[in-house]
Structure 1
Amino acid sequence: MEKFCIDIIAATPNPQQLVWAAMHQDYSEDYVWHSRDRWPHEQRSGELIVKHLLAGERGHYGCLEHPQITFNVGYFPHSMMQQVRTHRVGVSFDVQCLTANTQVTFVNDKGEAHLELKKTIGELYELWTKGEQSFPQRAIPVIKGESSGCYHRDGKNHIRKMNLRVLNENNGLFETGTIKDVIIRGIQPVYRVTLADGKTLDCTVNHRLFTSAGWQTMGDAVGLVTSADGCVIKLTKSCSVMCNGMAVANKTNPLDWQSQLQSADTNIQAHPVKVTKVKYLGEHKTYDLEVESQWHNFVANGMVVHNSFRYTGQRIINVAQGKQDIEEVFYLRPVGNYTNRQGKRYFYSEAQRNEDLKWCLEACKRYQQRIEEGLSEEHARGLIPFDARQNFVLSCNMRSLMHLLDLRWKKDAQLEAQKFCELLYVHFEQWAPAVAQWYKENRAKKAKLSP
């Protein structure tokens, strides 16, 4: 359980004051906003809502639903994540996203990238979903309200034929791939990453960037530290992102240097550029690509970013090949004494645990074999042990957060879920201290439903 972690991506500032304002409006004929200069401060607001709303069992608990908080949850077993997602919270799996204005680089048949070959990811999504507008001699409009002079044909085929610039991660040279899907990811908290050369990228905190240290989420790469509202940003690490590269010549023929600089795309090499600033932009509609290539990446606003795909088994293959430790990918309980919900006591021995680790390894090898035989990842994943570690994003309001703690912090809950709640509570206490203290004294671990 030592790998388990939870961090705040974004949270409503002054949540207790917000609840107080909503509660106060319930009982006031006046327009509460007009008296905002006389609102109690955050600490006092917490004391008042505990006294008049929570401790008094007054009802009208809807005002607890206004403050929102979003967590990044890491390395928990799949079984626990399945339990969490059944409750009144919003869960999305390791979602990495880019905003609509992100420019994607394509190349022509000669491997040359030009401005006219670039499209924003928002434009790609429109083309992918709505089709390509054309003006034939005999047009049949297929969209209501559209003029008879145009029609929409399938845009997916057009996009699939475009040469997407991707990076060969082994040699640092650019190659081409194709787009398999264009995905909308909904509204997410977004940050702007600025590089030393002026490039910017608007992305979610967990979008993976190819850095000088390999693949890292944006937040991990820069050691992102934010305030509860996500606005106050500190960078605790210095990192460089690999960018759309510099032309390099084939040195086996130095006499033809200039012509080689204009030759194939494989002569373009990525180069690192330092991150200088990260700024929180608020919540925006987001998108991502699924890439059909050996290299699951593409160039976004000149930076090499990881693509999203519905399912990837690369970490499973890494285990089979000895590139990743089994317990980085799978979760097994430590050796020790346990009790189930029926009161049965048992001991999970070191020998049993070692056997289970071997079984996980064999399952990874079988998975790799099936992939090599041509099975899709979605098909082959049925062979993977259930408790693969999961990273996900969890969003909830103050009321549903207490509801989740009520259900999963009780003494007979799954041990991993109890640990999950312990980590959640730490952030709850920092975010809304008065409400969290009331919860701890009156409801924690008592299996009640949220107020």
Structure 2
Amino acid sequence: MERFCIDVINATPNPQQVVWAAMHQDYSEDYVWDSRDRWPPEQRSGELIVKHLLAGDRGHYGCLEHPQITFNVGYFPHSMMQQVRTHRVGVSFDVQCLAANTEVTFVNDKGETSKEVRTTIGELYELWTNGEKTIPQTSISEIKREPDEDYKRKGKSRIRKMNLRVLNEDNGLFETGTIKDVIYSGIQPIYRVTLADGKTLDCTVNHRLFTAAGWQTMGDAVGLVTAADGCVIKLTKSCSVMCNGIAVASNREPLQWQSQLQSTGTKIQAHPVKVINVEYLGEHKTYDLEVDGQWHNFVANGMVVHNSFRYTGQRIINVAQGKQDIEEVFYLRPVGNYTNRQGKRYFYSEAQRNEDLKWCLAACQRYQQRIEEGLSEEHARGLIPFDARQNFVLSCNMRSLMHLLDLRWKKDAQLEAQKFCELLYVHFEQWSPAVAQWYKENRAKKAKLSP
């Protein structure tokens, strides 16, 4: 369990003061914002919440739903994530996504800039799922249709043949790749990132951008701080995003980012452009691409972005080839004594654990063999152990956070889920100390349902 980690991506500032304001607005005929200079400070607000709202189970706990917090969760086993997702209320497992108006860059076989075509990701999804409307010629089609009905030509095969511009992350030059899937990711909060050269990108806070410092989520890259309603309060970090490219000599040294045109060579090289602003746009439909091939990125509105978090299986192959440690990819419990909720008691020995590590390695090798034989990743992954480590983003409000702790911090909960809750509580206590202390004293590990 030593690898488990949880970090805070973003959180509502002064959350206890937010709850206090909600409590008072609910019962006041006046507009409480007009008296904001008289609001109690954060610590005092927390004390008043406990005294007038939480103590004695008085009810009216909707006020606790206003402050929001988002966690980055790392290296937990798949089975634990499945438990966390079960019976959840008000908890969101976020994915990286782009807005429908995002333009994706396609090129010809040689990757030539002069031949590039840009299509929005929303249009790609429509073509991918519903096909392309056209009126067939009677000489080449015998399809029966109504007189005014458009014939729909399959879109997936056409999109798969298109050359997507992707970045070779080893040498910084653009190459071509292909699309494996176009994904609709639901309605999510969207932010507009603006660069110094005027480029803009509408994306979620968790979408990964290829910056001058490497891959980073948008929120981490700019140090985004937001209010409870999602509006941007400030950016705390300077960031430059790698962009579509400038022509360079094809024999130049790799990874020497240049800001000026070097030659009229045939290669296109990414270059950094500074982020100057981020603004909240509200909730919109979002989409993403799954890119086939070695490089899992594409050019969106002229910026290099990561593709979907869809499963690729590369880390499994890395284990099979000895390039990655088994326990970095799979989770096995430590040697020791165990018991479960059914009362079964046993000792998991070092010899047993070593045998299980060998079994994980053999499964990875079998996985690699099946991939080489032509099986798809989603088919071959059924061969690997269930408890592959998972990284995910978790968002919740203060009330749903306590509900999650109620469900999974019980003494008979899965051990890994209990450890997950211990790490969550540390951040809960730092974020909202008075409410967290009340929770620990009155509800923690008692299997109650949160207020």
Answer whether TM exceeds 0.5 for this pair.
Answer: yes
Aligned partner of 1:368 in structure 2 is 368
Aligned partner of 2:446 in structure 1 is 446
Whole-Å separation in 2 of the counterparts to 1:243 and 1:390: 30
Task: State how 1:118-133 maps to structure 2 within 5 Å.
Answer: 118-129=118-129, 131-132=131-132
Other structure's SS at 2:298 match: strand
Aligned partner of 2:33 in structure 1 is 36
Identify which range, 329-338 or 358-367, moves more after superposition.
Answer: 329-338
Change in Cα spacing, 1:283 to 1:248, as seen in structure 2 (3 Å) is same
The answer to whether the 8 A contact 2:164-2:298 is kept is: yes
Whole-Å separation in 2 of the counterparts to 1:326 and 1:197: 44
| Alpha-carbon distance, 1:394 to partner | 1.7
Deviation by residue 1:284-321 (Cα, 9 ceiling, x = unmatched): 43321122334322122333322115422111111111
Whole-Å separation in 2 of the counterparts to 1:414 and 1:157: 45
Aligned partner of 1:316 in structure 2 is 316
Task: State how 1:346-357 maps to structure 2 within 5 Å.
Answer: 346-357=346-357
Matched, 1:405 2:402: no
The answer to whether the 8 A contact 1:370-1:380 is kept is: yes
* Amino acid paired to 1:303: M
The answer to whether the 8 A contact 1:78-1:390 is kept is: yes
Change in Cα spacing, 1:365 to 1:137, as seen in structure 2 (3 Å) is closer
| Alpha-carbon distance, 1:342 to partner | 4.5
Change in Cα spacing, 1:328 to 1:192, as seen in structure 2 (3 Å) is farther
| Alpha-carbon distance, 1:373 to partner | 0.9
Change in Cα spacing, 1:159 to 1:234, as seen in structure 2 (3 Å) is same
Deviation by residue 1:84-118 (Cα, 9 ceiling, x = unmatched): 00022466667222233332111135532358711
Whole-Å separation in 1 of the counterparts to 2:216 and 2:351: 35
Other structure's SS at 2:113 match: coil
Aligned partner of 1:339 in structure 2 is 339
Aligned partner of 2:181 in structure 1 is 181
| Alpha-carbon distance, 1:401 to partner | 1.2
The answer to whether the 8 A contact 1:244-1:302 is kept is: yes
Other structure's SS at 1:186 match: strand
Whole-Å separation in 2 of the counterparts to 1:201 and 1:325: 37
Task: State how 1:354-433 maps to structure 2 within 5 Å.
Answer: 354-433=354-433
The answer to whether the 8 A contact 1:105-1:113 is kept is: no
Whole-Å separation in 1 of the counterparts to 2:336 and 2:372: 38
TM-score between both structures, scaled by the size of structure 2: 0.81
Whole-Å separation in 2 of the counterparts to 1:215 and 1:308: 13
Whole-Å separation in 1 of the counterparts to 2:358 and 2:167: 35
* Amino acid paired to 2:359: W
| Alpha-carbon distance, 1:53 to partner | 2.0
Matched, 1:96 2:96: yes
The answer to whether the 8 A contact 2:89-2:403 is kept is: no
Identify which range, 6-15 or 439-448, moves more after superposition.
Answer: 6-15
Task: State how 1:9-158 maps to structure 2 within 5 Å.
Answer: 9-28=9-28, 30=29, 32=30, 34-38=31-35, 40-41=39-40, 42-89=42-89, 95-109=95-109, 111-114=111-114, 117-129=117-129, 131-132=131-132, 154-158=154-158
Whole-Å separation in 2 of the counterparts to 1:414 and 1:37: 48
Aligned partner of 2:270 in structure 1 is 271
The answer to whether the 8 A contact 1:211-1:272 is kept is: no
Matched, 1:4 2:4: yes
Aligned partner of 1:281 in structure 2 is 280
Change in Cα spacing, 1:443 to 1:309, as seen in structure 2 (3 Å) is closer
Whole-Å separation in 2 of the counterparts to 1:93 and 1:180: 23
The answer to whether the 8 A contact 2:92-2:396 is kept is: no
Aligned partner of 2:255 in structure 1 is none
Aligned partner of 1:257 in structure 2 is none
Whole-Å separation in 2 of the counterparts to 1:241 and 1:358: 42
The answer to whether the 8 A contact 1:98-1:287 is kept is: yes
* Structure 2: gaps spanning 5 or more residues: 253-262
| Alpha-carbon distance, 1:11 to partner | 3.2
| Alpha-carbon distance, 1:377 to partner | 1.0
Other structure's SS at 2:418 match: helix
* Amino acid paired to 1:410: K
| Alpha-carbon distance, 1:79 to partner | 1.0
Aligned partner of 1:166 in structure 2 is 166
| Alpha-carbon distance, 1:52 to partner | 2.1
The answer to whether the 8 A contact 2:105-2:117 is kept is: yes
The answer to whether the 8 A contact 1:197-1:273 is kept is: no
Other structure's SS at 2:375 match: coil
The answer to whether the 8 A contact 2:212-2:240 is kept is: yes
| Alpha-carbon distance, 1:390 to partner | 0.7
Whole-Å separation in 2 of the counterparts to 1:228 and 1:335: 45
Task: State how 1:234-253 maps to structure 2 within 5 Å.
Answer: 241-249=241-249
Other structure's SS at 2:58 match: coil
Deviation by residue 1:384-411 (Cα, 9 ceiling, x = unmatched): 1111111112222222211111121122
Whole-Å separation in 1 of the counterparts to 2:236 and 2:330: 31
Whole-Å separation in 2 of the counterparts to 1:24 and 1:351: 61
Deviation by residue 1:388-446 (Cα, 9 ceiling, x = unmatched): 11111222222221111112112222221111111211222233222212111111111
* Amino acid paired to 1:270: Q
Whole-Å separation in 1 of the counterparts to 2:70 and 2:387: 24
* Structure 1: gaps spanning 5 or more residues: 253-259
* Amino acid paired to 1:87: H
TM-score between both structures, scaled by the size of structure 1: 0.81
